[in-house]
Amino acid sequence: MRLVIELEPLSEIPYNYLNKHAIQGLIYYLLKDTSFDNLHSSTKFKYFTFSDIFPISDFKPGFKKTLLFSSPSNELVNELYNSILRYRTVKIKNLNFNIISVKKIKLNLTNRFISGSPIVLYKDNKSNEYFSFDKHNDLNFFLERIKENAIKKYNTYFGESIILNEPIFDKMKFKKEVVIKDFKSGKEFIIIGSVWKLLEKFHIPDHLYNFYEFLMDCGLGEKNSLGYGFINPVR
């Protein structure tokens, strides 16, 4: 399930001023005093993700922005939705935004997706090395790693042991690689991700329907709860 959150900035600021940690901080703030109050401190999968804020342009009063939030947990989505309804304005970083609207939506699964935020994978998480197409140029590694990560998240969430012997996607159209500078507690972090025009599974059999619906709600790759790996279905 998803939330569509429309926001209006109350001051003029550059688009890149708000980073992923700032948006994540807003989500955790809104979940305070709910049943998900301690989600931010969990070391396990958090099972949510969010899109980049769009349209991609500087923030200006009178021009609304949209943020999408998704999770396979309807309870989490409902808690966040009810919390947002209690606010007329919210603060992201040190900036105020009017809440124009928030609504819940349930999307129908398709077999074609587009990335709504960069997909991030570690090449070696022990050395904090991110996978890079520019550096590593290994599509097979990318496909195997996102499949391995997706299966692990799905099995952990549902307590199942699903096995996928086929490629997670059959057709892919690469758009670009991005290097993102993020900041937390005054420290700079460099994250590498990939943006995709198309991620297509030619046919989703009935026994894998829930699996791909889970990916649509939870995100692909790593760092989903930091707003990476968000995917949108396309017709």
Q: Of the residues 21, 29, 40, 157, which is catalytic?
A: 40
Q: Give how far Cα 89 sits from Cα of 4, 6, 40, 128, 157, Å.
A: 16, 11, 22, 37, 33
- Closest by CA to 116, choosing from 54, 52, 201, is 52
156, amino acid identity: T
- What is the rounded distance in angstroms from the CA atom of residue 150 to the CA atom of residue 132? 19
Contact 217, 107 (CB under 8 A): no
**Tokens 């700079």 belong to residue:** 188
Residue 150 tokens, joined: 């997706």
- What is the rounded distance in angstroms from the CA atom of residue 56 to the CA atom of residue 63? 12
Residue 44 tokens, joined: 């396990």
Decide if 40 is catalytic. yes
- What is the rounded distance in angstroms from the CA atom of residue 178 to the CA atom of residue 130? 12
Q: Of the residues 28, 29, 81, 157, which is catalytic?
A: 28
Question: 68 by DSSP, 3-state: which?
Answer: strand
Decide if 29 is catalytic. no
Q: What DSSP state is assigned to residue 62?
A: T
Residues for the chain: how many in total?
A: 235
The catalytic site residues sit at 28, 40
